[in-house]
Amino acid sequence: MRLRATTARMSWAGIACGSLMAAMALLISRPASAEMSRETSISAGSFFAAAAVCEQQEQITKGQVEPMLQQIDKHLSRNNRRWISEGYQRGKTYAAIYVPETKSWTPSTADDAECQRIQAVLDEYKAILTPPAAKEPARK
């Protein structure tokens, strides 16, 4: 049983990252009010809750989560906002991340290794959210 929990904890990042990154890319490329599934939205919310815990524990740079949530918010439907909020609250309350592919909650440890994986996903989100003009140096 313990091995399964450890394996799940180690694999959530890859599963969550892949599905969340695909959903986020679709959201950003579509007009406002695009829709993610309920499971993906809850997973995203729980992921951001885990990231907020990493920030609070100073495992990753503070001040990343809230601005990112605000930036993402303009791309979300009303349902997605509600589901992300639900996932965030449940993730914070139970210290867990929802994995849509397994339809289960996996414990979030907020240890150094997990927070490094979370930071890598946040960096990917930043890359998606940063407009192309801001990524390239100005040309003369």
Looking at the domain assignment, is residue 39 inside a domain?
yes
Looking at the domain assignment, is residue 86 inside a domain?
yes
Looking at the domain assignment, is residue 74 inside a domain?
yes
Looking at the domain assignment, is residue 72 inside a domain?
yes
| Model pLDDT for residues 56-67, shown as the tens digit of each residue | 999 999 999 999
Looking at the domain assignment, is residue 139 inside a domain?
no
| Model pLDDT for residues 41-82, shown as the tens digit of each residue | 999 999 999 999 999 999 999 999 999 999 888 888 999 999
| Model pLDDT for residues 84-98, shown as the tens digit of each residue | 999 999 999 999 999
pLDDT of residue 36: 87
Domain that holds residue 12: 2-129
pLDDT of residue 39: 94
Number of domains in the chain: 1
* pLDDT band (50, 70, 90) for residue 10: very low
Alpha-carbon distances, residue 125 vs 4, 93, 129 (angstroms): 28, 24, 6
pLDDT of residue 24: 60
User: CA–CA separation, 28 vs 75, rounded Å?
Assistant: 6
User: CA–CA separation, 97 vs 106, rounded Å?
Assistant: 5
Looking at the domain assignment, is residue 136 inside a domain?
no
Yes or no: say if 75 and 34 are a contact pair by the CB < 8 Å rule.
yes
Pairwise pLDDT comparison (19 vs 103), residue with the higher score: 103
pTM: 0.76
Looking at the domain assignment, is residue 50 inside a domain?
yes
Looking at the domain assignment, is residue 134 inside a domain?
no
